[in-house]
Structure 1
Amino acid sequence: MNKWLFLVIAIFSEVSASLALKAALEAPAWYAVVVCGYAGAFALLTVCLRLGMSISVAYGVWGAGGVTMTALASALLFGEDLTWLMGLGMALILAGVLAVEIGSHQPERIAIPEEQ
């Protein structure tokens, strides 16, 4: 399977666990989802690393995706505030992760033969 697919599933697992943590405040049975979600997220993140994804890219995308999706989902599910400043912050986080991803690919150097 593709390492990016494992990363996307890891993000969804972590977001589910974070949202369940909020739900567990009212219904403690949700703590089972919290434990399974975080354990699954870390296991899937490990798979991404074993498949060759760099830690800077994997953790950056995982963190940025998790923060963004959790903020959006908590606004929808729990009625939490979502302000324009938070949106700007999420955009900056995503831009930073994109910069790390692009920067992680070194350009190929073309050897130019020396003139004699």
Structure 2
Amino acid sequence: MTERPRRSAWPPLLIAIVLEVSATLSLRAAEGFAHPLWLIPVVIGYTGSLWLLSIVLDRGMPVGVAYGIWSAIGVVLTAIMGAVLFGELLGTVQIIGIGAIVVGVLLVELGSHARETSTEVAS
């Protein structure tokens, strides 16, 4: 009997990120409870995002890598979309911080591949 190939963790991770960012932006749009209908996509978005994140982990992506990518890309997209949709300003220090987050995610991802390669060589 042949083993089924492992499915990629990337599609559910990317969808999880989109749902989490959408939920966070909806939370901002709700303005507390001033516009309570916006709380519906908040609940759906966060619930769906966490469910998909569990699928990502089940598909074998290390938790540190998955959470790092999920949260970092979420922060970057939320900051950018907050500026676009709500007119929130991004100062120089914030832009540098976003760049640092992107570099950090890349380093975590590259480090996970380096570790996989060294583990395979040792086997």
Q: TM exceeds 0.5?
A: yes
Q: In the alignment, which residue of structure 1 is the partner of 2:26?
A: 20
In the alignment, does 2:25 pair up with 1:4?
no
In the alignment, does 2:78 pair up with 1:92?
no
In the alignment, does 2:70 pair up with 1:71?
no
Q: In the alignment, which residue of structure 1 is the partner of 2:57?
A: 49
Unaligned runs of at least 5 residues, structure 2: 1-6
**Equivalent-residue separation in structure 2 for 1:98 and 1:40 (angstroms):** 25
**Which has the greater radius of gyration?**
1
Query: Which residue, 35, 42, 46 being the options, matches 1:38?
Result: 46
Q: Percent identity?
A: 46
Unaligned runs of at least 5 residues, structure 1: 112-116
What's the TM-score, normalizing by structure 1? 0.89
Structure 1 window deviating more from structure 2 (93-102 vs 33-42): it is 93-102
State the secondary structure of the residue aligned to 1:82. Answer: coil
Q: Return the offset for 1:100.
A: 1.1
After the TM superposition, which parts of structure 1 deviate over 6 Å for at least 4 consecutive aligned residues? none
Aligned length: 111
**Equivalent-residue separation in structure 2 for 1:110 and 1:37 (angstroms):** 41
Q: Return the offset for 1:110.
A: 7.2
Q: Please give the per-residue CA displacement for 1:37-75, whole angstroms capped at 9, x wherever unaligned.
A: 000000000000000000011000001000000000010
